[in-house]
Each structure stands twice: as structure tokens, then as C-alpha cells.
Structure 1
Amino acid sequence: MTAPLRIGPYAVERLLGVGSFATVWLGRDATLDAYVAIKVLAENWSHDLRVRERFLDEARLLRRLEHERLIRVHTVGELPDGRPYAVLAWADRGSLRDRLAVGEIPPHAALRLLGEVCAGVAVLHRHGVVHRDLTPGNILFRSTGPDTERVLIADLGLAKALAAASGLTARAGTPGYMAPEQDDPGAVVDTRADVYGLGRLGIRLLATTPPTDAGPPPRPARIRLRHGVPAAVGAVLARATAYHPADRYPDASALRHALTRASAPQGRTPGPPPVRRRHGWRLAGAAVATVVAVGQVAAEPGGAGSGRPAVGTYTTGPLTVLLPAGWSAAGSTWAGLFDAGGEPEPALVMSPRPRRWAADPRLPGAFVGLSTATAARTTPAGFLAERAHGDCAAAPARTTRQAGVEWTVVAYRCDRGRPRIVESAGLPPGRGALVYVQITPPDDNTRFVDTLLAGVRVR
């Protein structure tokens, strides 16, 4: 990977890390003589509007919460190729994963650290946010003085949020720290999922033989604590990692107070926990209007539609679309989706400027993707239900038959970003695949949408 020389006003010093959805670089602000961490959306996800919005939503959320226990966001920007980036505070003392790779943390220090992590997650819970991906790699340390540091919570479940946004069926995040219900797409994931992750983190820090990340949690009787850890802590960790959410502590604050009580010297009882307000739970980033990459096509010659003449076609793999005047297309693959043979599923983007469409909300455009893997697990209506836009108003779903395909169509009106988003999916006869078209139309014209769908062909 070639390092960029600059990102925005920052000189790039070196690579800090690479993930499935983003790359993080160490940048330096020469004017302030300060270092920052710059997270850049991965190139293979840049066409997907929905994923882009999830990426930016984490930055917006952290900026809004602005708490000393959470990683800080300074600003966001965009690279010349349209990919967004977020400028974050640099955790100059690394992550918990880094420290555990060097050696075990002394028991009393590990117990204090677990309490600090619980306090950070409790900040999220007080604001109705569920992290969903609490792992050693997401626990960071930033120096506050020569001999002092602060524990920070980072990456608010971004990998899992992006996986959900992009329709991935594969597990996202770190196995071993995710609650059992997170593997069930129909389950309600709330703050108790984070309690499970915190409990697993506690077992990793405090057990004599920490389980492997991919293994199941040990049974309560088998949690053997390291020397110096109060025995009552084992019962707290066992309850935190209970299989059923109802059997766990309700949130991170309750778990923290339970750990405090369990670790207090005999004869001393900590004071009562403060009264907490109840909030309605929501997933981190789930309430933002987002869109997936889409592709638009014009009226089929001689057919009903927008009235614009079709001036050509574009083909990638088994997909062929009609192009309206002034439009072009770019072939691609459906990022993160693979067929039974492990090959990427085909997709394309169409717009007057297809390579800018994802980044510019003023441009109309569309994404067209074909997926056998998606057809094997759900229906067109079920797939569209996964792609709802939480901050947008949805019209009732409708069906339309175009070019031999029965399409399910849901139109959204949004108060910010793109004002209109149309989600549509259908099953081409005899293909065993689901074809998905997400459209940001140039105007509020149902006929334009139907004509676009009529111009989609699957061989």
C-alpha cells in the first residue's frame, strides 16, 4: 500500500492500521505541531452511499457526544477521489490489544482498567447508543502527562454497522466478544450485548487461562481468576456473559457498580449508584438516512418512461442497462458479496458522473447489483426491509412488473442529504439471483423509476 503524501492539510507520517472498511494514517499538523489519526474509507466501499453515510455517522456521533472517555473527532473531509475521511485524536499509547500482545496486565491494574472501560461504555449507554464491538483493539490509551494516561473507547461498532448497511451476511467484528444474539438477524440488540462484550473482556483480563477469542465463554464454575482478584468478581463476570440477555446486567453502569462491590474489601460497602434516566435504545449510527450506491437508466426505446431517448447500453458481467443521454456507467463488483464459488457478485454505477455520484448529493444516479448469495437467504421485500432509511419518510411499498421482473419498490423522502431515495429489488426469471437497484432520481417521477427498472437486463 502506497502512503499518500498528504491528506487535507495534514502531512502523512506512517500507516497506523488497516481494517476491512477503513485505513488509518498518522498525520501531522505542521502549524500546530500536533499529530492526529486520519481514518479513510476503503476504496472498494467508496461507491456505496449507504456505507459512506455509516462511516460519516460515526464521526458525527462522536463529535456530538464529545466526552473525555470517547475518542475525539476534530473534523471530516474528502479526498480528491471522493472518499471521506475523519480526523481523530491520536491515541499515542496504543491499544489494549497491543499491550496484551506484550504480556498480561497485573491483576489489580487489569481490574481498574475494566472499570474504566465500563465507565466509557456507560457514557454511550446514557445517550442511548450501543457499541456492539467491544474488543481489546477498540480500547485505546492517550497520554495526559508524563506518567498519566486516559482510557478511550473507539470505533463505535463501525465494522458491524457497515456490514449491516451493505447487506453482508458474514459475521463482522471480533469473534468471542460479541453476544450470541448478534448472530441472529432478527434479535433485538441492546445495551446487554455490550455487557456481554465487557464480561468477555473481563475474562480475558482476569482469568488464569483466558479463553481464545473464537471460543465460547467458560461456564461460571470454570472461571478461574488470577491470584489477587477477589473471588466475587468471578460471579459478576459469569452473569455478564450469560447466554440470555435477560440474565445479564442491564447496562455498563450496572456492571461497573457490581464490579466495584465485588472488589471492595470485606466490611466495606460502596455507596449507592447514582439514579439513571432511561433512554430508548438505538444502535450506533442506525438513525441516519443512508443510501447504497445506485444506478439509473433511461427509457427503453419505444417504452413508457421519462421521455428521454436512450443513447446506448452498458454491460458488466450478466448485467446490461440502458443509458440516458449524458450518462455513463462504471463497472464494479458488489463490495463484500460473493457467490457460492467465492467470486465477487457483479454491480455497476450509473450517473452523469458515475465516479462522483456517491460523493455528490446533487447528482442523480443509481447502483445495480446482482447477487445469488442474497437470493439464497431472503426475498426482495425482506432485503429491502434490511435497507430502511431511519431518518427518512417511506411511502408504502409497491410492485411493478418491468421487463419480465416483478419489482418491489420503496420510495423515501429525506430531510437531509439526497431528498429522494428509491430502493427496489426483484428476481429475474430463471436466474436464482436477486437484482437490486437503488435510485436517486432527478425528480419526483414514478415513471422515471419504472422506466429505469425496465432498462435493466440480466443474461
Structure 2
Amino acid sequence: MPARLGRYAVRRRIGSGGFATVWLAYDEQLDSPVAIKVLAENWTEDSHVRQRFLEEGRFLRKVESPHVVTVYDAGSLEDDRPYLVMSYADQGTLADRLEDEGLTVPQACEVVRQIGAGLHALHQRGVLHRDIKPANVLFRTVDPEHEGTVVRAMVGDLGLGKALDVSSRLTMIAGTPSFVAPEQAQGEHLDARADQFSLAALTFLMLSGRPPYSHSSLSAAAAPPPPPPLSTTERPFPQAVDDVVRRGLAADRNDRYPDMPAYVAALAEALGESGMGSLPARWLPVDPELTQPGNKPSLVPSHDDLPAPVPPKRRPWWPAAVLALVLMVAGGLGGYAAWQHAHETRTFTDEDRTLRVTVPSSWARDVSLANWMPPAAPFSQSALSVGNKADWRASGEGVFVGLMPEKKLPTSLPQHPACSKPGKTERGTTGDPSVSATSTGCPGGGIIIEKAEQVSPTKLLWIQVRSDDEKTAEQVLDTVRTLGSLG
């Protein structure tokens, strides 16, 4: 644990992800706890990721809303890694609340109202969030003048946020499959109604205790079926409420509400008195076990200053039992943790918007979406490459997808003699114009799949997948898609 980050005294680590680590620190000048988000070391040299990290701070600074996380400061460490100093969400995330206690209907309605207000503030400043999900809804305590201490909901983590005027030029498709709008999963031009879809999916989860979808990939989210009924035996709702949420989840964005305030107002009207309650009852209760910023440091914190570990809370019986049951019935994923784990993927589209593939997030360390020059080809062709390290083709995990100007399938594919069991070229089944070869026992362990597919009279699609296990390799191979006309 670093003693300081810039001028801020570090208290403890709040959490970490693939791109950044968040620390709880203390602003000695302003006498206040803050959260500091630091870019992960392994992404320091990646200009694209670095730009996205800095853009998050710029987007958040554009908005002055009590329901959007505030950025107070920014800077760089000695190793040139950037960091953002933000408001500290001392009451955790919506994911924490759903797992531990769940929400009452008035509380869920109030969270929708506040998050809707935060998203609308972003939209008014020309910013699209693109990744609304339980982990990105944060809570903090505030002290209004007349209501006493209450918990406020905020939109956080704009790591995928984009200015609305450039969203049509994105080359990377991203988002959480069970909450992402179909047009976003398809890589289309986006507007504020994409965030409305995500908020409607969040509404469904908060009200019913289960997500409307359990997509395992963004390709599945690109063409979702109609959502299941909102009501359950444990939580029945009027048809009007189901109609509002279902409209927010419409696959065609033109069928959704025109903007965020319209959706929030329609939901409140449909819920009526069941969604209102007195104002204090609509707020979430303060959890004293979460509000632990630590002792105010005098100079540099010592390990003795850190708060003692908090023992796990005894969870009420119904949220865990009901949530596990409905997830097994609705999604077949065996529980909330498995449902979350199924979303750890990323989808990439090449610069020409011709090829697409979905890979495990851990692979997305060495990414190239630029064209390549096939052997003996007069012109460059569409291609993309994603791997877990720069030399993944020798001993790592990754996938290459590229077009080749060729009118017929090759008679043989690379055999990879360094593998203990080199693959033999096999033709596809009847009606499948492809050849493939699977090699196992390869250097570094794992499997290599080579595949060539005739995707047009004059074009071959060449794919190589290298993985530590066959199931992952097959799953990645199944996500490869060609988009549009290939000539």
C-alpha cells in the first residue's frame, strides 16, 4: 500500500479492476476523505486505455449534479501513471445492496429517480455513460439541512463514457451484456436511449430481484428476446409497471421513451402509492459498517491507523434465497456470482468495421484493429488481433482474424509441429465452406485452432485461436463475425 498518492495520505484500498485501482485517501488540506482512482501499471504504455482513463475525468468534470460522482483533482505519479481524485462513496454500490439486503419498492423507485437524474445531467452535457450496471451505481451519505443523514445514489465509473457526437466512430464495442442496449452491442451509432435501456434493465433487477437477461456475451445482447414478465409470486406488480419497464427495454430504440425524465416519470406514475411512501422511507438506510474512512492522519498513516476488518454481515434470508432461486429458473446460471462472472468478456471490431470477435477480458492486453497485408496480396485487408501479451502467438492466449483475397479454400492449414499433437486439416460439414485444424499440447500449454472459411466468392476469412483450454478456444471461435458486404 502506498503511503501517499500525490498530496493525499492513503488509508486503504477500496477495490481494483482490470484497468485501475481505487484507494481511500485523506485530503489533509480540505479535511475530507476522498477516493483516488489510479491507472493500473500494465496499461501505462497503452495510449488508448490512457486516453479513456483521462476522458473519464473530463466527462465527470463537465457535469455538476449531486447524482454524478465528482472529480476534485487529477495528477500523475512518479512513474507517469495518471490518477483521478473523486468523491468517496462510503455506502458501497448497488451490487452490494442487492446481494446483502435487497431494496423495497419505494427505495428502488428512488434509486431510479436519482440515477435517472444523474444520467440526464450527463446527456445534457453531451456525454453517454454506456455501462450502467449495479457496480456502477454508488452510494454516499449526505447531510441535508432538514432531513438528517441520508444516502444518495450517484452514477460512477465513466470508463466507457463517450461524447455523443463521436459515439458513431467507436471501433470497440463494450459494455455489460445483460444491461447493454442492442444497438450498442451491434456497434451502431448511439444516443441517450442506450442508457435508458440499461436503466430499465436495472429497474427490472431492483424490482423483481432478478435481471431481465442473462446474456453471456455481447453477441447475444445484440438480438435480445422480449424480456420475461416483471411480476413474480413473491413480488407482483400492476401491468402498467410491467408495460413501462418493457418499453424501456424495447429492442428498437424508437419504441422507448424519448428521454430519461420521461421514463422516470412514467415509472413513478405506474407505481403510484406503492412506489412513493414518505421521503425518508424511500432512502436507503445508512450502513454504519460501511462508513469507515479511518482516523484522520497527522502526517503519514501507519498500519495501526487502519480500521479493523469488518466481519461479514448476516444476510437476511429472503434476498439470497429468492435471488438464487429466480436466477436458476430464469437464467440457469446457478446464482448471482455465476451470473456476474459470465460477463467478463470484451468485444472488438476492426477499423474497417468488417470483423468482430468476443474474447475473455483477460486477453485484451495486446490489441490491434488495423489492416494487415496477407502473403502475396496486392492490397491490405481487414484484420484484428487480440491477445493477453505481445508474443501471445508463441506462448500466450489470443485470437487473430483477417480477410484474404482468395477464391478457394486451402488444401492444408499450418500443422504447428511444435505441438505434441499437430492438427490435421479437416473440411467442414456439408454446406459449411471451411477447413480447420486443431493442435494440442502446444508450447506454453493449451490448444491452437486454425480455420479458413470462404465468406465471399473472392474472400477467405482466416482465424487463429490460441487458448489454455479447448472450451474457451471454441467459444471465442464461435463469436467471430463478418459484417456488411465483403465483395
TM tier relative to shorter chain: 0.5 to 0.7
What is the alpha-carbon distance in structure 2 between the residues aligned to residue 81 and residue 97 of structure 1? 33
Change (3 A) 1:343 1:210: closer
Quote the Cα distance in structure 1 between the aligned partners of 2:241 and 2:28.
48
Match of 2:365? 335
Superposed, 1:9-408 pairs within 5 Å as 9-145=7-143, 147-158=149-160, 172-185=174-187, 187-207=188-208, 209-211=210-212, 213-214=214-215, 219=226, 222-224=229-231, 227=235, 229-264=237-272, 335-337=365-367, 344-346=389-391, 373=399, 376=402
**Residue 364 of structure 2 contacts residue 386 of structure 2 at CA under 8 Å; is this kept in 1?**
no
Give unmatched runs, 5+ long, in structure 2: 277-362, 369-383, 406-461, 464-487
Which deviates the most, 35-44 or 336-345?
Answer: 336-345
Give the TM-score of the pair, scaled to structure 1: 0.55
Cα distance change on mapping 1:341 and 1:60 into 2, 3 Å: closer
Q: Does the 8 Å CA contact 1:139/1:151 hold for their aligned counterparts?
A: yes
**Separation (CA, whole Å) in 2 of partners of 1:127 and 1:160:** 11
Shift of 1:222: 2.1
The amino acid across from 2:195 in the alignment is D
Contact residue 160 and residue 172 of structure 1 kept, 8 A: no
Question: CA 1:205–1:36 in 2, change beyond 3 Å: closer, same or farther?
Answer: same
Decide whether aligned partners of structure 1 residues 50 and 214 sit closer, same or farther in structure 2, where only a CA change above 3 A counts: same
8 Å Cα contact 2:133/2:176 also seen in 1: yes
What's the TM-score once normalised by structure 2's chain length? 0.52
- CA separation of 1:62 and 1:149: change in aligned 2, threshold 3 A: same
Instruction: Look up the equivalent residue of 2:149 and give its one-letter code.
Output: D
d(CA) in 2 for partners of 1:343 and 1:97?
A: 28
Query: What letter matches 2:17 in structure 1?
Result: G
CA distance in 2, matches of 1:129, 1:340: 29
**Cα separation, 2, equivalents of 1:109 and 1:132:** 24
Q: CA deviation at 1:211?
A: 4.4
In 2, Cα distance between the equivalents of 1:378 and 1:140?
47
More deviation, 38-47/150-159: 150-159
Pairwise CA RMSD of aligned residues? Answer: 3.6
Question: In the alignment, which residue of structure 2 is the partner of 1:409?
Answer: none
Could you list the per-position Cα deviations for residues 93-123 of structure 1 after superposition, in whole angstroms to 9, with x for gaps in the alignment? 1111111110221122212221221121111
Greater strand share, 1 or 2?
1
Query: Do 1:334 and 1:345's aligned partners in 2 also have CA atoms closer than 8 Å?
Result: no
Cα distance in 1, alignment partners of residues 269 and 43 from structure 2: 46
Structure-2 separation of matches of 1:73 and 1:44: 24
Q: Tell me the matched-pair count.
A: 286
Q: 1:377 to 1:249 in 2, by over 3 A?
A: farther
- CA 1:82–1:208: 2 relative to 1, 3 Å: closer
SS of the counterpart of 2:13? strand
Q: For each residue in 1:119-177, what CA deviation from the matched residue of structure 2 results, as whole angstroms up to 9, or x when unmatched?
A: 2111112222211100111111111135312211111243899xx9xx986x6332201
Which range moves more in the overlay, 47-56 or 4-13?
47-56
Higher relative contact order (CA 8 A, sep 6+): 1
The alpha-carbon deviation at position 41 of structure 1 amounts to: 0.9
Identity %: 39
Gaps of 5+ in 1: 269-332, 348-370, 380-431, 434-459
Distance (whole Å) between structure 2 residues aligned to residue 79 and residue 96 of structure 1: 31
Q: Residue 180 of structure 2 contacts residue 194 of structure 2 at CA under 8 Å; is this kept in 1?
A: yes
Q: Say if 2:364 and 2:388, in contact at 8 Å, map to a contact too.
A: no
Native 8 Å contact 2:129 2:161 kept in 1: no
Q: Provide the secondary structure at the position in 2 that maps to 1:65.
A: coil
- Taking structure 1 as reference, are residues 120 and 378 closer, same or farther at Cα in structure 2, changes over 3 Å only? farther
TM-superposed deviation, 1:57 = 1.6
Q: CA deviation at 1:31?
A: 3.7
Q: Alpha carbons of 1:92 and 1:341: their partners in 2 closer, same or farther (altered >3 Å)? A: closer
Deviation at 1:86, TM superposition (A): 0.4
Q: Distance in 2 between matches of 1:182 and 1:109?
A: 29
C-alpha contact 2:365 2:388 (8 A) present in aligned 1 = no
Deviations 1:393-440 (A, max 9, x none): xxxxxxxxxxxxxxxxxxxxxxxxxxxxxxxxxxxxxxx89xxxxxxx
- Judged with a 3 Å threshold, the aligned counterparts in structure 2 of structure 1 residues 229 and 118 are, in CA distance, closer, same or farther, namely farther
1:203 and 1:378 mapped to 2: Cα distance?
A: 45
2: CA distance between counterparts of 1:5 and 1:40? 14
